Amino acid sequence: MPLPQKQLYTSEDYWNLPEGQRAELIDGQLYAMAPPSFIHQKLVQQFGRMIGNHIADKKGDCEVVPAPFAVNLDANDQTWVEPDLSVICDRNKLSDRGCEGAPDWIIEIVSPGNPKNDYTVKLFKYRTAGVREYWIVNPMKKVVLTYIFEGIEDVNIYSFDDEMPVYVFDGLTIKVSDLL
């Protein structure tokens, strides 16, 4: 749910939120973020571990960064998001403030309080900003939607018991039920 509005919020408002208050700035609107649940955090940690191990085993250059981590998708003053997990393969995008530009792969774990943002608002933002792969993991329904935005675009729906191929990393598949 959006926080009470003034005309348009900017990066300055985002970076000056009160200590401990988390929000995302999307197209000039601030969206409050509720504290994550245990299953949410466990999935973020397990996805991060699995992906990080794959990168290390392949001696890759990508970085796996969990939230809270700021991503300035369009390098503008009105959009800063905090994906649950960001995989960034261009280290030039990394700064002290976060990621300047689109990560290669984003994973969002759906929270009961605000699923609309993951399925609509962020889906559009991530696609248009140049994210190559986007996963929406829904622990309540035990399904994962995977979106490929590069080349021939594709979308798939998987259950937590399915082996899901990772587009940005050849040879990596993930079965969510193995992470729980």
Give the three-state DSSP class for 19.
coil
Alpha carbon distance, N-terminus to C-terminus of the chain: 29
**Cα 171–173–178 angle (5° rounding)?**
145
Tokens 């990168």 locate to 55
Q: Which residue has the higher pLDDT, 30 or 75?
A: 30
Per-residue confidence (pLDDT) for residue 1, from 0 to 100: 55
pLDDT at 172: 96
What distance in Å separates the CA atoms of residue 111 and residue 89, rounded to the nearest whole number? 27
**pLDDT surpasses 80 at 6:** no
Burial class of residue 72, CB neighbours in 10 A (0-12, 13-18, 19+): buried
Tell the residue number behind the tokens 């991530």, with chain if given: 126
Q: Where do we find the tokens 């729906």?
A: 157
Q: pLDDT by residue (tens digit) across 44-57?
A: 999 999 999 999 99
Which segments of the chain are extended strands (E)?
23-26, 29-32, 63-66, 71-72, 85-88, 94-95, 98-100, 105-109, 133-138, 143-148, 154-159, 164-165, 173-174
What pLDDT, on a 0 to 100 scale, did the predictor assign at position 156?
A: 97
Q: Phi and psi at residue 140, in whole multiples of 5°?
A: -70, -40
Q: What Rg, from alpha-carbon coordinates, does the chain have?
A: 16
pLDDT in tens, 58-93: 999 999 999 999 999 887 788 999 999 999 999 999
Q: What is the pLDDT of residues 90-120, one digit of tens each?
A: 999 999 999 999 999 999 999 877 777 889 8
Block residue for tokens 């981590």:
69
pTM of the shown model: 0.92
Percent of the chain's residues with pLDDT above 70: 96
Nearest to 32 by CA among 48, 18, 47: 18
